[in-house]
């Protein structure tokens, strides 16, 4: 019997809890009694714990009753993970998580692990919208921005929301083989391994600041003129800087080179057109500044793990 514990806290995301636990529950249908998962929930106290959608859950155990010696200990995400400090929970995690054979988080539950000091020195991930925030909050962690889930030694973390199901399926496959995990995936009507990572859902270019500076002016110019030829010489001229100095300042302030920004912005423009219009690929490529469908297809495959046609199909 393998024990799985889900740690609850006020304002957690119910799907982050229910999705992975359903994977383990359904896996039990295909396992002998001695191999099954024993599922439990742990809360700060005996009171009902309210999820972010208003539903209240009664924990099986309190922190005082749970010793942490589980085969798998998980923390779901939710607004309460990154808006509130849960000192009692993080103190409990700090003292007991290492008793678990494996521990981890779904979505933004990584923030609670981070506050307990459990992300330092590990490769981790979270919901694509919060990866930069996680990196800034816990600089000793190696935050991945695209992976659906990351398994690093004793720690396993997943991307946003339904990625917790992918992570749980990978754990079932590790524990009991791919056949059992595939059977569970079929029951849930999900695929065993989805194509691409979180990048296919997240914008590659963050929102540009509104305050005027030479670099933000260039960023806005790029976003408004993607169909034009955008060279370092032209962009540095707009910023009234030499090409080398401009590239250095741009990279420092934006976190990517000017050409990486241009390329990412063009991919984002193409994605928006593919999602919301039925324009031919040739027109999408032109309006996004790629010049050709072939060039757009190559960059989509490199950055998103799928072709423009495959990307469009998932939104139609």
Same domain membership, residue 155 and residue 29: yes
**DSSP 8-state symbol, 211:** S
Same domain membership, residue 223 and residue 152: no
Q: Provide the domain count of the chain.
A: 2
Decide: helix, strand or coil at residue 51: strand
Is 207 contained in some domain? no
Is 204 contained in some domain? no
Last residue of a domain, one of 175, 199, 223: 199
Same domain membership, residue 182 and residue 70: yes
CB distance 158 to 105 below 8 Å? yes
Which domain, by its residues, includes 193? 2-199
Is 25 contained in some domain? yes
- The model's pLDDT over 153-178, given as tens digits with 9 standing for 90+, comes to 999 999 887 889 999 999 999 999 98
CA distance 198 to 190: 16
Decide: helix, strand or coil at residue 126: coil
The whole-number pLDDT of residue 197 equals: 59
Same domain membership, residue 124 and residue 268: no
Q: Which residues of the chain have pLDDT under 50?
A: none
The whole-number pLDDT of residue 184 equals: 92
The whole-number pLDDT of residue 51 equals: 95
What CATH number does residue 248 fall under? 1.10.10.60
- Strand-pair partners of 131: none
152: left (phi over 0), alpha (psi -120 to 50) or beta: beta
What CATH number does residue 17 fall under? 3.40.50.880
Could you tell me the CA-to-CA distances from 121 to 38, 168, 229, 248 in Å, in that order?
30, 23, 42, 29
Same domain membership, residue 51 and residue 83: yes
190: left (phi over 0), alpha (psi -120 to 50) or beta: beta
The whole-number pLDDT of residue 209 equals: 64
Same domain membership, residue 156 and residue 13: yes
Same domain membership, residue 265 and residue 121: no
Specify the pTM.
Answer: 0.70
Is 208 contained in some domain? no
């Amino acid at each position: 019997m393998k024990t799985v514990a889900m740690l609850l806290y006020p304002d957690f995301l119910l799907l982050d809890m229910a999705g992975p636990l359903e994977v383990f529950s359904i896996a039990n249908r295909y396992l002998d009694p001695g191999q099954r998962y024993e599922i439990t929930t742990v809360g700060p106290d005996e009171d009902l714990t309210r999820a972010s959608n208003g539903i209240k859950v009664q924990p099986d155990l309190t922190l005082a009753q749970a010793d942490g010696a589980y085969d798998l200990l998980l923390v779901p995400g939710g607004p309460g993970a990154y808006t509130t400090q849960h000192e009692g929970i993080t103190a409990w995690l700090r003292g007991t998580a290492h008793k678990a054979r494996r521990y981890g988080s779904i979505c933004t539950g990584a923030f609670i692990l981070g506050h307990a000091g459990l992300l330092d020195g590990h490769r981790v991930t979270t919901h694509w919208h919060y990866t930069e925030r996680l990196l800034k909050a816990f600089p000793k962690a190696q935050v991945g921005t695209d992976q659906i889930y990351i398994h690093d030694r004793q720690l396993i973390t997943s991307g946003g929301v339904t990625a917790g199901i992918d992570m749980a399926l990978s754990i079932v496959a590790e524990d009991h083989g791919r056949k059992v995990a595939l059977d569970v995936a079929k029951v849930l009507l999900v695929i065993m391994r989805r194509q691409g990572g979180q990048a296919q859902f997240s914008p590659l270019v963050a929102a540009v600041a509104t305050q005027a500076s030479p670099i933000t002016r260039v960023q806005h110019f790029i976003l408004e003129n993607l169909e034009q030829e955008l060279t370092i010489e032209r962009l540095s001229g707009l910023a009234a800087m030499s090409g080398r100095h401009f590239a250095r300042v741009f990279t420092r302030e934006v976190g990517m080179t000017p050409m990486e920004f241009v390329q990412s912005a063009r991919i984002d423009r193409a994605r928006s057109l593919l999602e919301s219009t039925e324009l031919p690929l040739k027109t999408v490529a032109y309006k996004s500044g790629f010049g050709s469908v072939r060039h757009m297809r190559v960059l989509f495959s490199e950055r998103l793990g799928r072709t423009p046609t495959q990307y469009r199909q998932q939104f139609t």
